[in-house]
Structure 1
Amino acid sequence: MLLFRKSLQRWLLGRLPLQRAGRLGQKRIYLLPTRFGLLLLLVALAVWVGALNYAVSLAYALAFWIIGLMLVAVLMAYRQLSGLSWTVLPGEGVFVGQHADCRIRLDNDSALARRLQLRAGQEGEPLSCLLAAGSSQSLALPLLLARRGRHAYPALQLWSTAPFGLMRAFAWLRPDGHVLAYPLPVPDRERNDLHSEQGSGRQSGDDEEDFSHLAEYRQGDTPRQIAWSVLARRDVLVSKRFASQPRGQSIRQLAWQDYPATVDVESRLSRLCWRVQQCEKAGQHYRLHLPGVLIEPQPQQRELALAALAEFQLPS
């Protein structure tokens, strides 16, 4: 039975396209009785057999009332999913061994409140959701990332047994999304202070004149770097970043070639990942050199550097 269920599930998922958004309709919703619903059907069958044998009119009425209730349950369960819209939201990268959030938004534009449950595959922990009429809600399903790289969102099962718990309406979703697993940082203090390149300093008094971008405030930023106008307008504390370096400040070089050939690929990536984190914490400008990849100081450099480390493959 279990083998048949898995084969049926693979066949069903093979028919579904990868989608970033969708709307559930008649062709996507399946209906099956719950255990309680099956038990009630057996009771109706037993009552009907008894009515045939003993010609009891009330038994006939009870049997057909149960059947009628099951038919109403089919319609009500179907309405819980029919017309429901869903959208894949981008997931945030995490380090190997951590749980990433596979995020999806459900939109209910009908006048019907919906009681839903969602889980990844057949084995994941279900998330319950009460979606009010005309509302939206974002759900995050945890996914354990055991290896470095890009991980696709798993197939998601969405279902409801409301309002009677007799019928189960369900649909499978194949979200077109992914999350990144960054290398697990491994401390490398021996090289942390090496391979720095002195910045092209400017004349005294000319430090930080070439504005580059705004970034999140970091502890240690000077009052001159704070964007006071943004703070006044939006009540958000951000700092100015500059393309040129202050005199005497260095750009740290984080290079693949810092390590001998005896160090394997994953160890190099993990140590470079730790050094990137240290530079970000200290507010130190840096360059990341990988074979065929160079990440210069720029907005969102941390995300770009970690993504490059996560998806790195040695050139063939």
Structure 2
Amino acid sequence: MLPFRKPLRGWWLRRLPKESVCRLGQRRIYLLPTRFGLLLLLVAAAVWVGALNYAVSLAYVLAFWLLGLLLVAVLMAYRQLSGLQLQVQESEGAFVGQFADCRLRLLNTTAITRQLLLQSEQGGECVPCTLAAMAEQSVTVVQLLKRRGRHAYPAIQLWSTAPFGLIRAFSWWRPDASLLAYPLPLPDREHQDCHHENGRGRNRGDDEEDFSHLGEYRQGDTPRQIAWSVLARRDVLASKRFASQPRGQALHQLAWQDYPATLDVESRLSRLCWRVLQCEKAGQHYRLHLPGCMVEPWPGQREQALAALAEFRLPV
């Protein structure tokens, strides 16, 4: 690779507009010969020079046939990308140091089958994709999350050398989307079972197991009460009711002030993240206290709590 190629490509990619929906057209598709295509072009040129020197008619035919094949390969490779529609799909976050899935959707509105390859600007494995005529397909490109916070989707390169492998048609796309990198959880058993107050829900002493019936889901029901099998079969959210309804549950307080001022920000967030995951795993109610932010126990609390930890900034 040339020494100036990577910085030049980075400068060029930063100038591309971010798009949540993209349709590849003539201005977005670039064509270059592959190594095999260059070799075939040299062979055609050598045959043509030989035909000039020795006036062999069959050599002229072979030279122009090879050139014609290259021209047809240019058109066929261009058709692999022309008219392709690209869309961003919602993706889930991941923890620092893990690979997150950048989900994309490809739509083929033409009557040809497309054979594509995708790769992130950060490198990594190529993702093959065979897109049938008049079809759509979801693909995933992974991204390594090296720091906490919000990460923009990397620029995506799409290319194809089908059907002859002589010409490489490629294009670049900057998806207008991002995903969150949550703090890496660090065990904090010292604060696991402390700092709680009475609240709504199920208490350890009132933990009846006598099932009564299924009822409509109500805000505040724990994950343990949700009938997951009914949700999987009928796509209906229902809760289990017991013969003796629970009267109270410990409401755990996960607070920024639980830690000494000497502990750095990232360590605090990592320990709070671990406690959030432990409460979710045990089906416990909790309240997350951060400077300038509080996450109450309501539906979707896990995602909101992790997002608050991922995007936390100390107030100035």
Q: What TM-score do you get using the length of structure 2 for normalisation?
A: 0.88
Distance 1:167 1:226, change over 3 A: closer
Matched, 1:140 2:140: yes
Give 1:180-199 correspondences, 5 Å limit: 180-199=180-199
Contact kept in structure 1, 2:201 and 2:221, CA below 8 Å: no
- In the alignment, the residues of structure 2 paired with residue 50 and residue 227 of structure 1 have an alpha-carbon distance, to the nearest angstrom, of 76
Give 1:174-213 correspondences, 5 Å limit: 174-199=174-199, 212-213=218-219
Distance 1:162 1:200, change over 3 A: closer
Q: 1:115-154 CA deviation, whole Å, 9 max, x = no partner?
A: 0000001622111111000111111111111211111110
Corresponding residue for 2:22?
Answer: 22
Shift of 1:98: 1.0
- In the alignment, the residues of structure 2 paired with residue 227 and residue 24 of structure 1 have an alpha-carbon distance, to the nearest angstrom, of 42
Aligned partner letter, 1:35? R
- In the alignment, the residues of structure 1 paired with residue 232 and residue 261 of structure 2 have an alpha-carbon distance, to the nearest angstrom, of 53
Shift of 1:91: 1.5
User: Which sits farther off after the overlay, 252-261 or 139-148?
Assistant: 139-148
Root-mean-square deviation over aligned CA pairs: 2.8
Shift of 1:14: 3.4
**What SS is found at the alignment partner of 1:252?**
strand
- In the alignment, the residues of structure 2 paired with residue 308 and residue 144 of structure 1 have an alpha-carbon distance, to the nearest angstrom, of 20
Contact kept in structure 1, 2:252 and 2:287, CA below 8 Å: yes
**What SS is found at the alignment partner of 1:128?**
strand
Q: 1:23-70 CA deviation, whole Å, 9 max, x = no partner?
A: 100000000000000000000111111111111111111111111100
Distance 1:194 1:121, change over 3 A: same
- In the alignment, the residues of structure 1 paired with residue 231 and residue 302 of structure 2 have an alpha-carbon distance, to the nearest angstrom, of 24
Q: 1:136-182 CA deviation, whole Å, 9 max, x = no partner?
A: 11111111112111111101000000000000000000001111111
Contact kept in structure 1, 2:289 and 2:295, CA below 8 Å: yes
**What SS is found at the alignment partner of 1:194?**
coil
Corresponding residue for 2:78?
Answer: 78
Unaligned runs of 5+ in 2: 207-214
Distance 1:304 1:60, change over 3 A: same
Distance 1:42 1:227, change over 3 A: closer
Q: 1:68-122 CA deviation, whole Å, 9 max, x = no partner?
A: 1000000000000000001011211111111100111100011000000000016
- In the alignment, the residues of structure 2 paired with residue 148 and residue 267 of structure 1 have an alpha-carbon distance, to the nearest angstrom, of 12
Matched, 1:255 2:261: no
Percent of residue pairs bearing the same amino acid type:
69
Distance 1:137 1:201, change over 3 A: closer
Q: What TM-score do you get using the length of structure 1 for normalisation?
A: 0.88
Unaligned runs of 5+ in 1: none
Contact kept in structure 2, 1:213 and 1:240, CA below 8 Å: no
- In the alignment, the residues of structure 1 paired with residue 99 and residue 12 of structure 2 have an alpha-carbon distance, to the nearest angstrom, of 27
Corresponding residue for 2:2?
Answer: 2
Aligned partner letter, 1:186? L
- In the alignment, the residues of structure 1 paired with residue 293 and residue 40 of structure 2 have an alpha-carbon distance, to the nearest angstrom, of 64
- In the alignment, the residues of structure 2 paired with residue 214 and residue 81 of structure 1 have an alpha-carbon distance, to the nearest angstrom, of 50
**What SS is found at the alignment partner of 2:19?**
coil
Give 1:214-293 correspondences, 5 Å limit: 217-218=223-224, 221=225, 226=227, 234=234, 238-239=238-239, 246-293=246-293
Corresponding residue for 2:126?
Answer: 126
Contact kept in structure 1, 2:183 and 2:266, CA below 8 Å: yes
Shift of 1:210: 11
Matched, 1:97 2:103: no
Distance 1:199 1:215, change over 3 A: closer
- In the alignment, the residues of structure 2 paired with residue 188 and residue 89 of structure 1 have an alpha-carbon distance, to the nearest angstrom, of 35
- In the alignment, the residues of structure 2 paired with residue 143 and residue 211 of structure 1 have an alpha-carbon distance, to the nearest angstrom, of 37
**What SS is found at the alignment partner of 2:16?**
coil
- In the alignment, the residues of structure 2 paired with residue 143 and residue 201 of structure 1 have an alpha-carbon distance, to the nearest angstrom, of 39
**What SS is found at the alignment partner of 1:277?**
helix
Contact kept in structure 1, 2:118 and 2:126, CA below 8 Å: yes
Corresponding residue for 1:311?
Answer: 311
Shift of 1:198: 1.7
Distance 1:215 1:61, change over 3 A: farther
Shift of 1:237: 6.7
